[in-house]
């Protein structure tokens, strides 16, 4: 009998190699878990338009920013039920998750870079970008617009092109 043929019992192996032996455990084959995320949002997303904001202090937006956003939505001949307002800070998902969940036609990014949501491109502020049959618009955070008429003007020009030109 050669050394290669010696069979040791489990108890003997455990006593001889208690500090440096790793027991081989057969793992049961696991089925991949298809986990659907739930993304917190305001609005009903009836027209598949996502407004993605980033606010660390509020679940959605503070009152003054919410009022400004509501006015923008109304000026674009939409209602809050037409859109989905999502705070990225509390829903830090990649683009693919937002895309699967909301199926957006238009995505507006306020204070969020395209890299943060794993998009393969960058967009200068107020430029409309088409990607995979969707339109994207990037802008500074909504708080920056509150007292800045020039930013509001630039945003309004882009929003008119996006929503009001027919």
pTM of the predicted structure, to 2 decimals: 0.77
The CATH-assigned architecture of domain 49-164 is 3-Layer(aba) Sandwich (3.40)
pLDDT one-digit tens code per residue, 26-84: 544 554 444 678 899 999 999 999 999 999 988 889 999 999 999 999 999 999 999 99
- What is the reported pLDDT for 26? 53
Q: Are 138 and 127 in contact (CB under 8 A)?
A: yes
- What is the reported pLDDT for 41? 95
- What is the reported pLDDT for 31? 46
**Residue boundaries of the structural domains of the chain:** 49-164
Give the span between the Cα atoms of 78 and 71, in whole angstroms.
10
Give the span between the Cα atoms of 30 and 7, in whole angstroms.
32
- What is the reported pLDDT for 33? 46
- 156 has pLDDT over 70: yes
- What is the reported pLDDT for 9? 72
pLDDT one-digit tens code per residue, 105-146: 999 999 999 999 999 999 999 999 999 999 999 999 999 999
């Amino acid at each position: 009998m050669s050394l290669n043929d010696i069979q040791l019992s489990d108890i003997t192996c455990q006593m001889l190699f208690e500090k440096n032996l790793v027991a081989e455990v057969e793992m049961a084959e696991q089925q991949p878990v298809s986990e659907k995320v739930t993304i917190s949002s305001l609005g009903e997303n009836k027209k598949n338009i996502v407004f993605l904001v980033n606010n660390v202090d509020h679940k959605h937006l503070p009152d003054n920013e919410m009022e400004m956003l509501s006015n923008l939505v109304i000026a674009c001949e939409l209602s809050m039920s037409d859109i989905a307002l999502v705070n990225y800070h509390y829903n830090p998902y990649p683009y693919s998750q937002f895309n699967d969940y909301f199926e957006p036609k238009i995505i507006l990014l306020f204070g969020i870079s395209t890299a943060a949501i794993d998009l393969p491109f960058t967009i200068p502020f107020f430029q409309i970008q088409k990607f995979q049959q969707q339109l994207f618009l990037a802008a500074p955070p909504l708080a920056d617009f509150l007292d800045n008429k020039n930013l509001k003007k630039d945003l309004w020009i882009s929003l008119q092109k996006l929503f009001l030109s027919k």
